């Protein structure tokens, strides 16, 4: 990647961190003109800005209103980049995605959904703060191969375990692969609750899901 591309990616990150919707749109447009892969612009630009905003929140320099303005800037940039994402031709399968009960953080989930769709997955999006039984019903009533669960809070991680437990009780666990993610999630936690995989980034998620489906068939 050239210096020019790096400057654009930094500008995308800065636009989010500085809550600047206009700059986010301009920088996204510049990324398109410079032929930067839109997914790279999202992962290495906009997402990095949101991560940096998270650090400021933890340092108590930003509070909830600032974070919401940062996410507005991120979505403004996303709207420009999204139509330019190259859609992978073949269908990979169908997946359900949601943020587990008690948690309303959905920025990461929305990125995972976008990258999964781009890769060829048909996504059923249950949104955020999704009741455990909603995941179960959706798996029961639809032909889905993958369940993706997201959480950003340590206090709601247990809901993931409950969903897997309920899938087992309903005889649905073997029907699907379960992929989990979100900042507090680790390999050890995934293994502990009986998930099939975890992934730290949205870009990686579709490859992880696809790998699981391929190895099962
Ligand atoms: C933005 C933010 C908010 C926004 C959320 C806006 C929204 N619509 O999502 C607002 C301001 C509303 C908010 C509210 C709250 N927040 Co908040 N928030 C954050 C913050 C700063 C950033 C999260 C974020 O969006 N990151 C950017 C995205 C792109 O990254 P990501 O979500 O991690 O997702 C990436 C990966 O994790 C992965 N991924 C995510 N999901 C999945 C799923 C799958 C299947 C896969 C494969 C991958 C994957 O892919 C993504 C992209 O690569 C974090 C701190 C932090 N540094 O994470 C705190 C944080 C998560 N919040 C926290 C808290 C406590 C709250 C509140 C309770 C605050 C309050 N007192 O009101 C409320 C929550 C209310 C509720 N019940 O949900 C705590 C949680 C602490 C804990 N218990 O663990 C954190 C960690 C801050 C802190 N250190 O205290 N928050």
Question: How far is the centre of ligand 1, averaged over its atoms, from the C-alpha of 119 (Å)?
Answer: 24
The closest residue, in CA terms, to atom 28 on ligand 1 is: 108
- pLDDT at 124 (0 to 100): 98
* Domain tally, the chain: 2
- pLDDT at 87 (0 to 100): 77
- pLDDT at 151 (0 to 100): 98
- pLDDT at 167 (0 to 100): 98
Domain end marker among 84, 109, 138: 84
Domain end marker among 42, 63, 84: 84
**208 and 119 inside one domain:** yes
The residue ranges of the chain whose pLDDT is under 50 are none
Please report the DSSP string for 132-160 in residue order: HHHHHHHHHHS--SEEEEE---GGGHHHH
Q: Which atom of ligand 1 is nearest to the CA of 64?
A: 11
**Angle of helix 64-81 versus helix 107-119 axis, rounded to 10:** 10
List, in order, residues 6 or more apart from 131 with CB less than 8 Å away.
101
**121 and 210 inside one domain:** yes
Tokens matching residue 8: 């654009």
Query: pTM for this one?
Result: 0.93
- pLDDT at 52 (0 to 100): 95
pLDDT tens sequence across 41-74: 999 999 999 999 999 999 999 999 999 999 999 9
Of the candidates 9, 83, 85, 80, the one whose C-alpha atom is nearest the C-alpha of residue 47 is: 9
**14 and 69 inside one domain:** yes
Pocket test for ligand 1, best of 108, 160, 196 (most atoms within 8 A of CB): 108
**138 and 120 inside one domain:** yes
CATH of the domain at 27: 1.10.1240.10
**32 and 68 inside one domain:** yes
Domain end marker among 59, 84, 109: 84
CATH of the domain at 138: 3.40.50.280
- pLDDT at 89 (0 to 100): 67
Calculate the CA 167 to chain-centre distance.
Answer: 22
**51 and 143 inside one domain:** no
**128 and 22 inside one domain:** no
Tokens matching residue 14: 């800065």
Question: How far is the centre of ligand 1, averaged over its atoms, from the C-alpha of 206 (Å)?
Answer: 21
C-beta of residue 70 within 8 angstroms of C-beta of residue 12:
no
pLDDT tens sequence across 161-174: 999 999 999 999 99
- pLDDT at 214 (0 to 100): 87
Question: How far is the centre of ligand 1, averaged over its atoms, from the C-alpha of 153 (Å)?
Answer: 7
**198 and 114 inside one domain:** yes
Of the candidates 103, 107, 105, 18, the one whose C-alpha atom is nearest the C-alpha of residue 62 is: 18
- pLDDT at 41 (0 to 100): 96
**127 and 159 inside one domain:** yes
- pLDDT at 2 (0 to 100): 82
Q: Domain range holding 12?
A: 3-84
**114 and 72 inside one domain:** no
């Amino acid at each position: 990647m050239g210096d020019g591309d790096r400057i654009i990616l930094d500008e995308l990150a800065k636009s989010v961190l500085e809550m600047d919707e206009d700059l986010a749109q301009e920088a996204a447009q510049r990324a398109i003109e410079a032929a930067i892969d839109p997914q790279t612009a999202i992962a290495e630009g906009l997402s990095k800005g949101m991560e940096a905003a998270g650090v400021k929140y933890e340092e108590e320099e930003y509070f909830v209103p600032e974070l919401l303005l940062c996410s507005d800037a991120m979505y403004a940039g996303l709207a420009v980049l999204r139509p330019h994402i190259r859609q992978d031709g073949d269908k990979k399968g169908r997946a359900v995605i949601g943020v587990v009960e008690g948690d309303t953080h959905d920025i990461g989930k929305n990125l995972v959904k976008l990258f999964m769709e781009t890769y060829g997955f048909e996504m059923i999006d249950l949104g955020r703060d999704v009741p455990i039984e909603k995941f179960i019903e959706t798996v029961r009533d639809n032909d889905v191969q993958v369940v993706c669960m997201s959480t950003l809070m340590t206090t709601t991680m247990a809901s993931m375990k409950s969903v897997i437990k309920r899938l087992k009780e309903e005889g649905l666990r073997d029907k699907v692969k379960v992929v989990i993610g979100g900042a507090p999630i680790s390999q050890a936690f995934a293994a502990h609750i009986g998930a099939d995989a975890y992934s730290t980034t949205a870009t990686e998620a579709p490859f992880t899901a696809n790998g699981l489906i391929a190895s099962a068939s």
